[in-house]
Structure 1
Amino acid sequence: MIEPLEVVWRDEWGRLLALLVAQTRRLDLAEDALADAFERAARVWPQAGMPDSPPAWLMTAAKRRILDRLRAEAVAARKQPLLAVEEGNRCEESDDLLRLVLLAAHPSLNEEAGAALTLRLVLGIPTADIARLFLVPEPTMAARLTRARKKVVAAGVPLAIPEEEVLPQRLETVARVAYLAFTAGYAPGSGDDVVRAELAGEAIRLVRLVRATGRAAATSPALQALLALMLLQHARRDARVAADGSLVLLPEQDRSTWHRDEIQQGLALLRELTGGHSVSIHPPPLRSPRHSTSVPGGVALSSALAAEYVLQALIAAEHARAGRATDTDWPTITDYYRQLEQLTGSPVVRLNRAVAVAEAGDLPTALVLLDGLDEALAHSHRLPAVRAELLVRAGRHTEAVAAYDLAIERCANAREREQLLARRVSAAGG
C-alpha cells in the first residue's frame, strides 16, 4: 500500500465503515466493500493520481461494490433504498462511529472477540498487530475475527446506542477496546513506525466520544481513569521518536517537548479519582480471589478494571512529574507495579515490574521476576529484549547476545529491530 493511501486508511477507515454499516445494516457487506474500494484505490491512484476527495472516492467505490453484491444476491429491490438515505434523515457521523464501537460490547460477543473485532473494524488495525496485542499467533486471531463477524451477522446485532440503563454494562468492554487501540499506537507490532500517534489519538477521541453519551459513561471510573492514563502517556508523543525515525526511550527523551497541558488534564482527572483516601476493590478481582488491592484514591472502586487503569495512570503520573529521568521515584513505581500484578496476574505487567525493580537498583530480583514468563509471552520480542538488557547490566554478555538474537527474530517492527541489532553489537563487544 502506498504511503498516501496508508494515511487515508488510518484516518478514514473507521468513519467510512461506520457510515456504510449505518446505511446498509450489513456489517459483512460493508467491510468487504470498503476493503475492495481500498484495493482498487491502490491500483488506480498511482497512475491516475490522488482524487480531490479520497474519502468521497472510496465511499463511491464501496457503494458501487455493495450494489453489485446486492444484485448478485437478488435482493437489490429491498436493500437499495437503504443506500439512498437522505442526509437530513441520517444520524450524525459521530453517532454512526459510536454505534460501531458499541457493537463490540454487545452481549452476543465475548469481550475479547468484541475488542478484537472493533480494533479491526473501527480503527483498521492489521490482524497481525491485533494478534500481538492478545499474545496469540496471527492465524488464531484471524480465525477469531472471522467467527466474531459471522456471529454478529447471524445474531442480527442492532447498530444502536444502548439505553441509559443498559449502557453501563457495556462501558468496560468499550474501555478495553480503546485501551488496546491506544497500546497499538504506542507499541506497533509491525511496519516501520515506532509510534502511531494518530492511532493513539483516535483511541483518546473514542473515549471522549463515549463519555459524552450520557451520565453513566461520564461518571464511569474505568473510562475516567483510562482517559487520564492516555493523556499522560500521549503527552510524550513528540519526544518518543528521533529525527531519523528511531525510538527514543524515556530516560533520553527531551522533556521540554512534552505537552504539559495534556499532562495537567490527565493529572486533574486522576485527582478526581484519588483524593487521598484508600481505594478498595469490592469484590476482589476474579484472577486474584484471595487479595484485595488498595491504591491511593478518593472513591471506592467496585471495578477491578477501574483500579487497573488507576494504577497505570499513577505510574504514568510519576513519570510525568519527574523533571529529569534521575528524579523518577522508582521505588513508588515498583510498588504500583506490584499491586498491578497482584490485581491482574498479567505477564506483561510482571515484565514491566521487572524493569522498574531493576531501575530501583535490585537487578537480581528483576532477573528472577522474568523467570516463568517464556510460555505466557512466547510470541513477544519484548521479554527477550528486556532480559538481554538486564543480562548486560549484570555483565553476562554471552547470555545477553543470545537473548537479543531471540528478540530480533521475533520483532516485526523495522525500527525496533534496528535498535535491537545495535544493542546486540554493543553486547557482543562487551
Structure 2
Amino acid sequence: MELKIIQPAACCEPKTGCCEPDLPVAVIGAGPIGLATAAHLKERGIPFFVLEKGEIAANVRTWNHVTLFSPWQYNIDEAAKRLLSESGWTMPDENHLPSGNELVEEYLTPLATVLAPNIHTEHHVVAITRGNLDRMKSTDRSSQPFEIYVESLSGLKVMTARAVIDATGTWDNPNPALSNGVWLKAEKELASRIDYRIPNVRANEERYANKRIAVIGGGHSAINSLLTLAELKQKYPDTSITWILRKRRVDDAFGGGTNDELAARGELGLRIAELVKNELIQVETPFRITEMLEHEGIILKSGERRLAPFDRLVVNTGNRPNFDFHRELRFESDAITEAVPALAPLIDPNEHSCGSVTAHGERELRQPEPAFYIVGSKSYGRAPTFLMATGYEQVRSVVASLAGDRVAADDVQLHLPETGVCHSGAGGCC
C-alpha cells in the first residue's frame, strides 16, 4: 500500500520550536462537537482539517429516529450559529425538540457545507504520534508536529498538525450486557440478536412483534427503547417486554419527573413509571448478569437465578471510550470513569447523579501531551450524563487557548438544566 505523506507548508525546527501558526489543527470526528470545534477554529482564522472515519454525523444517523429531550436552544453551538447565519441559514424554533434526523438535516449537514473543503470523510485515524517520537521520548517533544496516520479510500496517509482535538465520542463503542463489563465469546456469538443502540422499532416491526424482548440498562437510552417497544405491544399484544436493571429499586431510574428543568427528560421518567405501574413491562431488579447462553432463546443468569429465554436483547448499558489510536501519545484517563482526570470527581456516578457538571474548559482538559485534547462525550469516559452544550463550551475554551486568547479560554460559563434528582455518596450509585 502506498504511503502518502501530507506535508505542512512550513517546517518545524527542534531548536527553535515548531512553526505553530503555519500548521493546521486536526479535529477528529465530524459529529456535533467536532463540527463545533471546526466552527470556532474557522471563526478565529486558525487553519484546520476534520477527519471522519465515515460520513458526516455518522453516529447521530444511527439514532435518527430518536427525539432528543433537549430543545434546539441547547443543541446548536454559538460559533456554528454565527457562521450558518452568514450563509443565509435560519435557526429552527429554539423550543422544538429535534429528532436525530432533524439534527443532521437542519443543522449538521448545512454546517459541514459551510466548513468545506476542510472536512475529510472516509478518513479513519489509526494512530497519532509526535514527529518521529514514540511516547517514551521526551527530548524536543513539544516542538515536534503531530503525525496522524489515516486510512482513506486512496490509501494510507500521514497528516501533520500543531494540535489534535479528539471529538470522536463513545457511541460506537458500547458496553456489554454482563454487569462486570467483560465481553465474553457467548455474547459476541449472539450479536445478530442484540441491539446496542436504541432500536428503530417502527421501521422493523417484524423483528420485535410478538417476540420476547429484554431491555438491559437503567438510563435514558433504555427508557427510550422500552417506550417504543410498549407502543408496539399495543399493536401486537403478545410482545413480551422485560426490563433488567442493576439498581436496587426501579424507582431510581425514573429521574426527576416534574422537577426536571428539561420537561421532555422528566416526561420520559413519568411515562416509564406509568408502564411499570400498569405492569405492561416486567421489571427485574436488581439483576446483575453474570452469564449469557443459548437454549431455545437467550438465557440470562445472575448467579443461580436465570430469566426465561428471550428472542432478542436490547443492551443499553452505556458506552466506553476507545483509546487505541492514542497509544503513542501521553494521555491520562481516570482509573474509575476513564474520563479526563480533572472531570472525574464531578461526574463519577458512584458519588453523585445530578446530571450536571461545573463549568470547565481548556485548563481542565489538558493532557500531559501539550496541544492534545479529548473533548465531548469522550472526555466523560464511561460517565453517562453528557449534554452537547457541555461539549460546545469545552471546545470554545480550547480553541480560544490555541488562538492565544487566555482571557476567553478561562472565562468558562455553563448552565445545564437540572435533572431534579441528586444523590450523594453511595446512595447515588447505579
Q: TM-score, normalising length from structure 1?
A: 0.27
More strand by share: 2
| RCO comparison, higher one (Cα < 8 Å, 6+) | 2
Which structure shows the higher helix fraction?
1
